[in-house]
Amino acid sequence: MDTFRRLKNFYWPHKKYLFGSLLFLLIVTGATVCYPIVLQQTIDKGIKGQNFGYASILAFGFILIMAIKGVAAYFQQYWGNLFGISSVYELRKALYRKLQYLPFRYYDNAHTGDLMSRLTADVEGFRFFLSFGFSQLFNFILIVSFSLVIMFSYSVPLAVVTLLMTPFLAVTVYSFDKKVHPAFRAIRKSMGRMNTRVQENVSGMNTVKAMAQEAKEIERFEWNNTDYKDKQIYTSTLWAKYFPFMEFIGNICVVVLLGLGGTFVIRGEMKPGELVAFFSLVWYIMGPLMELGFMVNQFSQAKASGERLLQILDEPIEIASPENPIETDRLLGSVEFRHVYLKYPNEESYALKDITFRARPGQVIGLMGATGSGKSSITRLIARFYDATSGEILLDGESVKNYSLKTLRKNIGFVQQETFLFSSTIRDNIAYGNPDATDEEIIDAAKRAQAHDFISELPNGYDTILGERGLGLSGGQKQRIAIARALLINPSILILDDATSAVDMQTEAKIQMAFRELMRGRTTFIIAHRISSVRHADEILVLKDGQIAERGVHEDLIQNPNGLYRRIYDIQYKDHEQLKTQQNA
């Protein structure tokens, strides 16, 4: 119950829909049980009493009652649904808001697929319960008690007989429910596996074809396809076993009622109309009972869904602007690290140890080192994507924690290793950080990023819509759009995180050219694997296991014969030298 109490803020404001819906449900259920009564009255009073006038009153009265029922059913259904969708509207809004501000730390460990299933399936599970769960439960109580009252007033023995049948049905429903839900889960899992198999097959089609693996792939898919079919057939066997049996229990009840009730009617202890009414009333009890298992399951699923949603909502946002932040339009761009240590959550060792350096406005800092040596971690601390575990980071002499996040990030331009573009026009992608930019500004940024030429050649130019994940453009083209995007916010600090690792030599040359334009007048951090990217830097920091192993300018660093930088230099330039000698020979 705790889950529902804690999610109260989302659904309680809409309680008027819930209560309105339940009120009308009372009318609907009341009208439903009128049918057997009207039938009984027609047979016992109208027909037996040869009272045609009374039958006419019943007929019109019935239409009237059903008209009321219809209108009530409208409100009951509409408001019940509205209760669910209004609550879920607020819930989705809150979830999205939360997701926007959760720090990088959260996304490092979260899978998109898992988050998506919470945002879709769990939200839907919760909505379904709000829309239908309450009213189903209420309906169950109402219709069963109404029907029992009528039954007992017609014939106590027959009512008792009906009640005696219910435990059989309840046991059957319970055992069906226990089996069918794992079976449904198995189907969903099997579907998921088949999905993954096809996904891998189609996206790896080039490899499949190059290796002539088609027959093998067909065989592997055959296994998935068979597994899915078998799981489906198993579940349908459960249905086949249980559903006709549940119906059979109800039918047996009808047969017993006919035998017993028939005897009563023959003996004159019961009116025939009352017996006929019983045949309808039985199903008003048996029907909802068959759905009881479904209802209970729905409740427990909604609870589990609610818990998964609360996990997101309860997640702390530890990186936020301070109370009275420094807000400024433009930083000068000096960056200073003082004995900075960083340990990522859930990790044993430090990613950064005792990092101290200083970059003056406009300087270029090169960061080199093996994967995982801490290059990217340094840059992420500047924009407060993470907070340092200890030590201080100063921008223009003030701790980064004293600035508003907005000021901080407005002044820091990132070009990340993996370019992410949105499903949007090229224009809007470039203007992503500054949507108010004019067309001239956008084109200017694209020109300076060496992107204008290829964009102009596209049939729709800047209005070209990029597909999900920026499909249709080459890696280098995407990279240049990302550079234009960073340029357009005119940052005072620029971070180029391994931006040229995935492109060919010719494109790299173009991008390097764009970088030089980009770096003018900004403090720049370049993370790179290639010496060529950092050799002109004002200071190069060579990192090893989170520590600064060497520092200095290119010319000095290559003088140290045992240094890490020199070793990288040798590896990267040996081929080059050899090539030169070969060409000269």
Partner 1 sequence: MPLEKPESKALETRQRFYYSSDRIIEKPFNWAQMARLLQYLKPYAKTLLPGAIIALLIGTAIRLTVPILIGVYAFDRVIKHQDIHGLYWLVGTIAVLYFLSYLSNYFRIRLTNILGQYVIFDIRKHLFNHVQYLSNRFFDSRSAGSILVRIINDVNSLQDLFTNGVINTLTDLLMLCGIIVILFSLSWQLAIAVMLVIPLMFFLSTKFRRKIRRAWQLVRLKQSKLNSHLNESIQGIRVTQSFNQEVNNRAFFDVVNTEVFETWRSATQKNAVFRPFVEMANAIGSAILIWFGAFLIIHSHLTTGIFVSFAFYLGMFWDPISRLGQTYNQLLVAMASSERIFEFLDERPNVRDAQEPVSMDGIKGTIDFEDVRFT
Site for partner 1 in 65-104 (CB under 8 A): 65-67, 69-71, 73-75, 77-78, 81-82, 85-86, 89, 92-93, 96-97, 99-102, 104
Options 32-40, 132-140, 528-536, 571-579: segment touching partner 1 (CB under 8 A)? 32-40
327 binds partner 1 (CB under 8 A): no
Asked if 39 is part of the footprint of partner 1 (rule: CB under 8 A), the reply reads yes
Judged by CB under 8 A, the number of residues near partner 1 is: 121
Residue type, 513: M
Among 9, 145, 175, 226, binds partner 1 (CB under 8 A): 226
Shortest Å, Cβ 502 to partner 1: 17
Q: What is the footprint of partner 1 within residues 273-292 (CB under 8 A)?
A: 276, 279-280
Q: Which of 329, 487, 337 is nearest to 408 (CA)?
A: 329
- Name which of 23 and 218 has its Cβ closer to partner 1: 218
Q: Residue by residue, what is the 3-state secondary structure of 70-138?
A: HHHHHHHHHHHHHHHHHHHHHHHHHHHHHHHHCCHHHHHHCCHHHHHHHHHHHHHHHHHHHHHHHHHHH
CA gap 524, 382 in Å, rounded: 12
Picking from 65, 62, 61, the residue whose alpha carbon sits closest to that of residue 73 is 65
Which residue number, 489 or 540, has a Cβ lying nearer to partner 1? 489
Closer Cβ to partner 1, 43 or 541, answer by number: 43
User: How many whole angstroms separate alpha carbon 22 and alpha carbon 357?
Assistant: 67
Burial 39-53 (b: 16+ CB within 10 A, else e): bbbbbbbbeeeeeee
The sign one gets for the Cα dihedral 137, 84, 98, 7 is negative
The interface region with partner 1, picked from 167-175, 262-270, 394-402, 498-506 by CB under 8 A, is 262-270
Radius of gyration of the chain (CA): 36
Select from 2-10, 240-248, 307-315, 563-571 the region that touches partner 1 (CB under 8 A). 240-248
Residues 403-422 that bind partner 1 (CB under 8 A): 405-406, 409-410, 412, 414, 416, 420, 422
Indicate whether 529 belongs to the interface with partner 1 (CB under 8 A).
Answer: no
Considering only residues 467 through 526, tell me which ones interact with partner 1, judged by CB under 8 A: 467-469, 471, 485, 489
Q: Does 174 bind partner 1 (CB under 8 A)?
A: no
23, 156, 239, 390: residue in contact with partner 1 (rule CB under 8 A): 239
Residue 207 is which amino acid? T
Among residues 324, 371, 361, 315, the alpha carbon closest in space to that of 95 is found at 315
Rule CB under 8 A: is residue 237 a binding residue for partner 1?
Answer: yes
Contact 127, 87 (CB under 8 A): yes
Q: How far is the CB of 64 from partner 1 (least distance, A)?
A: 9
Q: Which residues contact 74 (CB under 8 A, 6 or more apart)?
A: none
Choose the binding region for partner 1 from 158-166, 243-251, 346-354, 519-527 (rule: CB under 8 A): 243-251
Q: In this structure, what are the phi and psi dihedrals at residue 46, rounded to the nearest 5 degrees?
A: -65, -55
CB of 484 to partner 1, least distance (A): 13
Give 146 or 432: the residue with its C-beta nearer to partner 1.
432
Rounded least distance, CB 341 to partner 1, Å: 23
With respect to partner 1, which residue has the nearer C-beta, 121 or 509? 121
Tell me the C-alpha to C-alpha distance, in Å, between residue 382 and each of 36, 156, 176, 388, 401.
76, 81, 58, 10, 10
223 forms part of the interface with partner 1 (CB under 8 A): no
| Helical residues (DSSP H) of 355-500, grouped into ranges | 375-382, 405-410, 426-430, 439-448, 452-457, 475-488
